[in-house]
Chains A and B, each alone.
Chain A
Amino acid sequence: MNKSKIRVYFLMLMTACFVAPPMIMNQVWHMSDETVQTSSVVPPSERKSKIKQSTSVKAEELTSESIEQETSEPAVTSSTEPVTEPPVIEPQFVTKDYSYFSDALFIGDSRTVGLRDFGGTVAEYPDYFCKEGLSTDQVQDVWIDGLSFNYIIDAKQYSKIYIMLGVNECGNDFETILKDYRAIVEILKVHQPNALIFIQANLHVAQFGENQYVTNDKVHQLNDRISELADNKRVFYIDVNEIFDDEYGYLSSDYTSDGVHVYGKYYMDWWNWLCEHAVEVPDISETTENTTETVTTVSQEIQ
């Protein structure tokens, strides 16, 4: 190798070893994101009190912000007032123990399967009609463990029926889903005249669990539509998401690995939440003439 080539190589080597590294490392460092520090996970059962606190704090912030806005722009008045929702009167749920579910039926998809598989002793009480991927349009056609829907709603009288469906067909037209859902509820009312029907909100999904068919917004919207089926006399709408949501209304990534189901251990929190959201079963009067309902527990003003 001639001397000039050696010199060139030497120069390249020195540049590469001493000039390039600081520049490249600095550039890469600045382009890289900070790692998110993981804080310890708060169990869902302990979150309810925290959620109630934070919503009241948010309400306060909202009003104080509006006051600031008004003082800075005195000419504008009513348009800067925040639109606060009128207070919602919650249904009077009661807390029951696990035996509440001894005459219950659970209808649903893989989340209901999860409730059954990971519910331990409480999960042994009710009957189930559930399957992974179940959707409202399949319920009346499908056979699960050799039984059909039509069979089980005639075979035994339940006093509570829980339904959780919808998210698996979230990509479809909502009107169709509602139509099928309504049909199921109506059939249950006829074949199970003494049963209270609990429509469970579909579990929200984590941001990373979204796909082209199932987005968290859609799940929220679907739940809103499904809640319209509740009359708070026989049909109730309950929403467990309050113990699993993060501050943005997504399923918290603390509680899920796949983004659409909670970890097995959190199904117990779900069961306990269900126990706290029970409704007194109305007395079936001895006399057949007594048709007035004696349900006294629930009243809700629906906007």
Chain B
Amino acid sequence: MDFNSIKFLIFLPIFMLAYIFVPEKLKNIILAFGSAIFLYQGIADSPQAKIYILLFVITIFVNYIVGQFIEMFRKSSKVWLVTGILFNFVWLIFFKYTGFIIDTINVVFVTHFTVKNIALPLGISFYTFQNVSYIVDVYEGRTKSEKNIFNYFLYISMFPQFTQGPVIRYGQIARQIRQRPCKPSADGLKTFIIGLGYKVLLADQIGKLWKDIGNIGFESISPKLAWLGIIAYSLKIYFDFQGYSLMAIGLGRMMGFIIPKNFDNPYLSVTMTEFWRKWHITLGTWFRDYVYIPLGGSRKGGKKLIRNTLIVWLFTGLWHGASWNFILWGFVLFVIMITEKIFTKRFMEKFRFIGHLTMAFLIPVTWLIFAVTDFHDLGIYFSKILPFFSKTEYYYPEKDYVKYLGIYGKYFIAGFILLQKFPKNFYLKLKKEKITSVALAVILIASVYCICKGKSEGFMYFVF
């Protein structure tokens, strides 16, 4: 179930009613029940639903058992750790990367092995990382293993974070499962509605410009429209994913959980390094803690630092998609960040205005590499945004951007305002006021209207 679907918006109040009225001891059972329904609804349409369910159950058991064995058998704990890690990644690789691997082999070695389109089990990119983080944390002694299989199931499957994260560490949530840090709060509902509004009223609407450009074809747009397009995409992906994360946090808060935040005004960063500490925070910290630091991080000299950074970014790219443009994207980010580390970071941090300008260029351009899978199309688009490199083969209407500014201008303005810090501070000040409740009710009604009219789409990070 997508959060921005009518199904979910009907499921939610029913679930919350049950959750709120049930005594503390039974709240986890309601949550487990709700998550099971949520998961099932998410995959019910797929012909492979039964396999996914079986696999999910097996995965939970394997990691639960491995966690305990690591703790129990100190001498052979590494064997269990490796078994667990391999088990988790084998499934991720099989579902997500088989097609890509075979396709690449076919291209490089001019073979004709069958390439199949294998559908991803829901949430696999996220729960794989969660499971691996758990067994590694147990191995490192950062946390005790979970003895209660039911609680472990809740950790992995609780529906606010299941489909698109945040990637919650076991240590962050284990105590909360046993005892909620907060009482269920209406604040959570407010946050949820804001997230829904970000997604439906902003991300989905400005995202249509990117779609329009795709329908026209990259050859036939003007350079100005090309720039508008990637700026629109940048705003779309931010409000889509931030919207989802806020909805997850809001849902958690409604149940008394504190779910870690995933974004910290990333578009206000002055360097790409800073950006990736503020964008999809839980993914970045996962790669830091489970790849970068175990490889030695920055503590083994400059060459190793560069190697470790490269590995982290290539895999971050690959995690986002099984396609060469994602690897290129990761590599480009690596180049930018190493350049910053060696040359420009301090300069940008000192002269923030230049930092902002540089990022205003780099953010949309790097998202472009992320957004376009086909290299030929990517080349055409680059020739549009950097026109001095281009040779226009196809005609494009020079004033096309005027029409699109007219349609989407208001979303650009709203987007630029909302990516700043002050709207949140403004909201926090007025949170308790009646006017806020009225505004949120309007956002909720408008969002539901858009969803009913088919003006809303699936989440972007849902496919990862």
Q: Which residues of A contact B (CB under 8 A)?
A: 1, 6, 9-10, 12-13, 16-17, 20-21, 24-25, 27-29, 31-35, 37, 117-120, 256-258, 261, 263-265, 268
Flag whether B284 is at the interface (Cβ < 8 A): no
Contact with A along B109-127 (1 / 0, CB 8 A): 0000011111100000000
* Residue on A nearest B54 in the bound complex, by CB: A24
Q: A35-B117, A264-B396 are in contact. Are A9 and B65 (CB under 8 A)?
A: yes
Interface pair B116/A33, CB less than 8 Å apart: yes
Contact with A along B398-438 (1 / 0, CB 8 A): 00100000000000000000000000000000000000000
* Residue on A nearest B119 in the bound complex, by CB: A32
Flag whether B55 is at the interface (Cβ < 8 A): yes
Residues on the B chain within 8 Å of A117, using CB: 397, 400
Residues on the B chain within 8 Å of A16, using CB: 58, 61-62, 87
Interface pair A21/B220, CB less than 8 Å apart: no
Flag whether B214 is at the interface (Cβ < 8 A): yes
Interface residues of B in 159-191 (CB under 8 A from A): none
* Residue on B nearest A5 in the bound complex, by CB: B68
Residues on the B chain within 8 Å of A20, using CB: 55, 58
Contact with A along B362-406 (1 / 0, CB 8 A): 000000000000000000000000000000001111001000000
Interface pair A29/B118, CB less than 8 Å apart: yes
Residues on the B chain within 8 Å of A35, using CB: 99, 103, 115-117
Interface pair B395/A31, CB less than 8 Å apart: no
Flag whether B94 is at the interface (Cβ < 8 A): yes
Q: Which 8 A-B pairs have the closest CB atoms?
A: A264-B220, A263-B217, A120-B395, A32-B116, A258-B215, A264-B216, A257-B215, A265-B394
Interface residues of B in 327-345 (CB under 8 A from A): none
Interface pair A28/B118, CB less than 8 Å apart: yes
Q: Considering the chains assembled together, what is the distance between the CA atoms of A257 and B217 in angstroms?
A: 8
Contact with A along B202-236 (1 / 0, CB 8 A): 00000000010011110111000000000000000
Interface pair A32/B117, CB less than 8 Å apart: yes
Interface pair B61/A12, CB less than 8 Å apart: yes
Interface pair A118/B87, CB less than 8 Å apart: no
Interface residues of B in 84-122 (CB under 8 A from A): 87, 90-91, 94-95, 99, 103, 114-119
Nearest CB of chain B from residue A142's CB, rounded to whole Å: 18
Flag whether B66 is at the interface (Cβ < 8 A): yes
Q: A1-B68, A17-B83, A264-B216 are in contact. Are A33 and B51 (CB under 8 A)?
A: no
* Residue on B nearest A117 in the bound complex, by CB: B397
Interface pair A34/B117, CB less than 8 Å apart: yes
Q: Considering the chains assembled together, what is the distance between the CA atoms of A25 and B69 in angstroms?
A: 26
Q: Considering the chains assembled together, what is the distance between the CA atoms of A118 and B220 in angstroms?
A: 7
* Residue on A nearest B66 in the bound complex, by CB: A13
Interface pair A264/B65, CB less than 8 Å apart: no
Contact with A along B34-71 (1 / 0, CB 8 A): 00000000000001100100110010011001101100
Residues on the B chain within 8 Å of A257, using CB: 214-215, 217
Residues on the A chain within 8 Å of B397, using CB: 117-118
Nearest CB of chain B from residue A78's CB, rounded to whole Å: 47
Q: Considering the chains assembled together, what is the distance between the CA atoms of A263 and B214 in angstroms?
A: 9
Residues on the A chain within 8 Å of B354, using CB: none
Residues on the A chain within 8 Å of B48, using CB: 28, 31
Nearest CB of chain A from residue B391's CB, rounded to whole Å: 15
Interface pair B220/A1, CB less than 8 Å apart: no
Residues on the A chain within 8 Å of B119, using CB: 32
16 additional A-B residue pairs with CB within 8 Å, beyond A25-B94, A263-B215: A9-B65, A10-B69, A12-B61, A12-B62, A12-B65, A13-B65, A13-B66, A13-B69, A16-B61, A16-B87, A27-B51, A29-B116, A31-B48, A34-B116, A35-B117, A257-B215
Q: Considering the chains assembled together, what is the distance between the CA atoms of A203 and B51 in angstroms?
A: 43
Residues on the B chain within 8 Å of A6, using CB: 72
Interface pair B216/A34, CB less than 8 Å apart: no
* Residue on A nearest B87 in the bound complex, by CB: A17
Q: Considering the chains assembled together, what is the distance between the CA atoms of A263 and B217 in angstroms?
A: 5
* Residue on B nearest A119 in the bound complex, by CB: B395
Residues on the B chain within 8 Å of A32, using CB: 116-119
Q: Considering the chains assembled together, what is the distance between the CA atoms of A12 and B118 in angstroms?
A: 27
Residues on the A chain within 8 Å of B118, using CB: 28-29, 32
Residues on the B chain within 8 Å of A37, using CB: 115
